[in-house]
Structure formats: structure tokens, C-alpha cells
Structure 1
Amino acid sequence: MRTLPDMTSGVHTVAVAVANGILHFELSLAYELFSSPPLTDGPWYEPVICGTGPVRADGRFLLDPDDGLDRLPLADTVIVPGWAEVDADPPADLVAAVRAAHEAGARVASLCTGAFVLAAGGLLDGLRATTHWAHTDALAARYPKVQVDPDVLYVDNGSVLTSAGKAAALDLCLHLVRRDHGSAVANAAARRLVVAPHRPGGQAQFVAAPVPERGDHPLSDLLGWISGRLDQPLTVEDLARHMNMSSRHLGRHFKAMTGTTPLQWLLTQRIRRAQELLETTDDGVDAIAAATGMGTAATLRRHFNRTVGVPPDTYRRTFRSERAAPDPHAAPQA
């Protein structure tokens, strides 16, 4: 068995907690991301799979863990992949080990129905949480102390995080990288995986109707058009005029396609762009406000602080030393 690395080694240990009935998709994507080559010159991640012995994922794939569940409290981050038998109680030893890890100070994140394990351990009591949309009602009914949000892709409560189903697990894992290393590094990790660094909207957009393929929806080209004009003071009327629609008609289409409103989606993109500029340039807040269409530094500071939780200057000081190293897997710039 490969044991967790020495905590003094400087790496960030990511323990993936497994037991019989674990879902292999969420386990695999978490391991793929956190076992990838470093994207910074500083400490990176060291994933270790922890379980009580050989387990079956999805009832078919036999998996031999690297270490035991008793090692979870030594990890910096604990990942609990999706759980297949949501109608049954999760294994008591898995629940106890995850709870012990959290009590020891580990950051705990569940992927998809892994939220049932966290909820069984009381880690979600009084907190907002999510899981796959098909199981949010069951989670809320079984654990009434949990504030279940059926729409979002993931929920970050600081030391406890939960994600919606399948692909949203990758959204959450990239969010963890963003928290640890900043937007530039998370974007580089997303490019390496050939996925979007941040998907707009919540999982409600996938419940009734999937996101349309390019060319199959009236707004299929609008998002790219907006992203190329973030420095401009766009309004809903501007977007509607570009699409030859009424503002109300645009709003309905936009909500159906992205799960959010045009202005909220636009604001999110402006904040993401501001984060990248704060991390990768020496531009002042006034210049970044202009480059992101915020207009003034005061407007940028207000929205940035409300969205990110810290002022732009504080964010820059925090992540300045975390600039991404060049990604050998990224496509060359034209």
C-alpha cells in the first residue's frame, strides 16, 4: 500500500475516500485532476485513495486503495465521490472517518451523491448543500437539517463543499484549484482537461432540457459575442438588439439556456476577467475596471468584494505569488 505522504513535505494531500458502492466516474475525474503534473512552481497536490480494503466501484470495477480510512485525518482535503445506494445508509466506517477528518481540520468535499455521506456524518447540518438534481428531494427528506439547493452546480461553505452530479464534480474540483492557486492556474488546469474553466448557471438547466448544441438555439453564438466585449458597457437592451429580440424574450431564452439572467451571467464573466488581470498583470484597479466594463474602480470594488469576498487589492496580494507556470499542454497562442 502507498501511504499518505509526509505532511512536512509541502504537498497538499488529497485523500479520496472510497467504499463498496462508490461511483467510478467522480472518483476518476477527481484523481485525474489532482494527480496531473504541477501547474505552479510551489506545492501541488498528492492524491491518495483511502478505503478499508478492495472495493467495487459501480458494483463492477475492483479497486485496491492506497491506504486505510483511518489516514483521512492526516489529509489536507478529503474527497467523497458519488454514492450509488442513496436509498440505503452509507457505511458507518466511511461516515465516521470523513467526520473525523473534518474534525481534524481537513477540507471535505463531496461529489454528486457523496453528499449523503457528509449529511449522515452531520457535516451539512444547518448548511446549504447540493447533490445530483435527481436526488435533492431524497437528501432534503432524509436530512431535514440540511438546506438543500437543487439548482446550483456546487456549494462552498469553506471547509465543507458539495457538488451536483457528474460533470459538476469537475466544476467543484476546478473551484478547489481556483481557491488554492487562483483563476489563472485553474484556467490552465481546465485547458489541460479541455473543459470550460467555469460554467455559467446552475443544474436546473439540465433538468427539463439540456443545453442546446451550437447552432441549435437562438442564443448559441451570443455568449461568445458577449465574452469578446467585456470591456464595453453592455446592457440587456444591447444584447436584445444584437439578437433582434425584445428584452423580455431574450431573458426567457437566456434563462433556459444558461440557468441565469443575462446581467448576472455578464457580471460573473466580468469578475472572472478581473481576477485574471489582477493575478497576471500590473494594471491598476482603474485600468482593470475599464477593461472589464465596470466603468469605475468603485464599481469594480463593490461587485468584486460582494462576489469574491475580498477587495481587488487584497485578492492581488493573496494570489500574486501564485502565477501559473507555462502549461506545456496548452494550445500555442496565435
Structure 2
Amino acid sequence: MTSNKMFNILVPLISVFIGLFAGAIIMLVFGYNPIDGYAALWEGAFGDLYFFGETMRQVTPYILTGLAVAFAFRAGLFNIGAEGQVIVGWLAAVWIGITVDTPMYIHLPLAIIVAGLAGAIWGFIPGILKARLGVHEVIVTIMLNYVALYSANAIIRGVLSDSKDKTEKIAATASLSSDWMQGLTYFSRLHYGIFIALFAAVIMWFIIERTTVGYELKSVGFNRHASKYAGMNVKRNIILAMVISGVFAGLAGSMEGLGTYGGMSVSSGFTNLGFDGIAVALLGANTAIGVVLAAFLFGTLKVGALNMPTEAGVPNELVDIIIALIIFSVASSYIIRWTILRFKKEEK
């Protein structure tokens, strides 16, 4: 058990090192100074309180989409549809934020809850199809991403927008923005959503590690046939895992709609928050604390990368290469395990 825990810690650390080291080599090959490049990245993420605020703002949805993907993984399901669930959650939160007129103590919680419910419904569809008909969740969730994107665009243009390309701003009573947090971080877009994301991580940990439901979900993830033989309702657990996964992703969308942007625009492409959540979950080993740490790393890389072209002349696309290499290393964990075990044998 101890060796497995150590392995779960070492693999992400080694993967991050491999990604950063390979990124440095790529910079050298193309004539850039890796020290300057990484210094610019660090400066862009933590150079002052504004950059720190923007980094934490980016971390917020990454935590929630990472939790969404990780929760499904724990039940043996691959939720590619977190992206679509983010979009419907975003749209639902903004819809409530625009159309409902109530005091903040009702309006804001209602918008967040409705966003979670929208994500849950979008997760329920592949869950019920998987449980009842055996339809693979990867196929269904990929298709639902496109349904969510183009349906959201149609609703924005036809229902929620006068300008035809974006909604009105949400009411102040539905906003997650914080004057004191923005003032503290030189008017960055940091908002109260960071606390909601961290609380969601605690909720996931509690469900998975401290409840009967979590035990059954993990059991189903390990072996569905053995779980069914033990008397567990496998179909119910599959549906429940996808629904809860959808809730987390829907909440991620509400963080963007109610916090970062205060509205929603027609988009020609995906937000990539859901897809990045897959990487966050993999690097975080599908655990709550691991997801939080991985989200912090990804937020740092994404925000810091914006400073690399201006300060060091390094294209910020290089960060996407580094992230890809990190995920490749995580996916190649068998090789890392083999290397570690071989090294231990040689020591003996």
C-alpha cells in the first residue's frame, strides 16, 4: 500500500519534470533561452498580485472540471463530455442571472444550483444510455459536446441576446465578483468561485473516501462484475457517477458565467476547460487533493505562458507542448514504474 502511495506521488512529479525538461530542450533547439522562458512564465503567473489573482482565477474552473473527470474515472467511466457540461452550466447560470430578479442571498445560490443541475442533466444522458443500453460513454459525451455548443449559441442568439453575439450582463445580485478580492489583487478577475471550487474538492473527497456511496463507486470502477455479485446496483452507480460528474462540470461553467465574464458570448469553438480537466484529473491521479494541485500547476502554466512572448520571445504555444508531454508521461506511467522498480533492484 505504501509503495502504491509513493508511486502515485512520484509519477506526477516525474511527469512534470519530464515535461519541463523537454520544454527546455525544445526552447534550446529553436534558439530560445529556457531560463529566460521559464522566468517569464513565473513572472507572468506570480510577478505581482494582479498576475497571482489571474492565476487563481484560472485555477478555479480547472479544479471543478478536474473533479468532474476524476469522479467519473473513479467509477471506471471516461467523461469526455465535461466540456459540454461546462457550456450548459455556464448558459444556465447566465440565464438565471439575467432573467430572475431576487435578492442576492436567493439569486446567486439559485444560479449556481441551476448550473449544477444543468450539468447533471447533461451527465445523466450518457449515464442512462451506458447503464441501460451499454452505449459507450465516450461516444455519447463527445457528441453531446457539440450539441451543447451549438444549442447554447442558438439560445444566446435567439433568446438571451439583443446584439446577437453575447448576452446582457448578469444582475449584480447573481455575481461572484468580489470588490475586496479584486482590490487586493490590483483589479484582477479573481472572484469568490475559488472558495466554491475548494469546497467542491472537499465534497468529492468526503463522498469517495467516507461514504458508502463512494465505496460502491470505487468498487464498480475496479470490477463491475464482482460488484454486481456482491449485491451492488451497478447501473445505479454508473448513472450516479455521471450525474455527480456533470454537477462539478456545470459548476465550473457557472464560475465563468457568474464570475470571470458576467455573461456569455456566442462561440465558434469549445472553451477547452472540460478537455483540460481531463489532463488535470490524470495528473492529479483522480484524487481530490491531486486535482487541486494539478489545477494550480495548469493555471500557472496557462496564465504565465501569456507573458513568455513579450518578455522572452518564446511562443506561448510551447506551454501546450509541455502540458502534452506531461500528460504523455502520466499515460506512460508503466514505463516510469518499471524504471523505479529496476532502480530499486539495482540498489539492492
Specify which structure has the higher proportion of helix.
Answer: 2
TM-score with structure 1 setting the length = 0.24
TM-score with structure 2 setting the length = 0.23
Structure possessing the higher relative contact order (Cα contacts under 8 Å, 6 or more residues apart):
2
Specify which structure has the higher proportion of strand.
Answer: 1
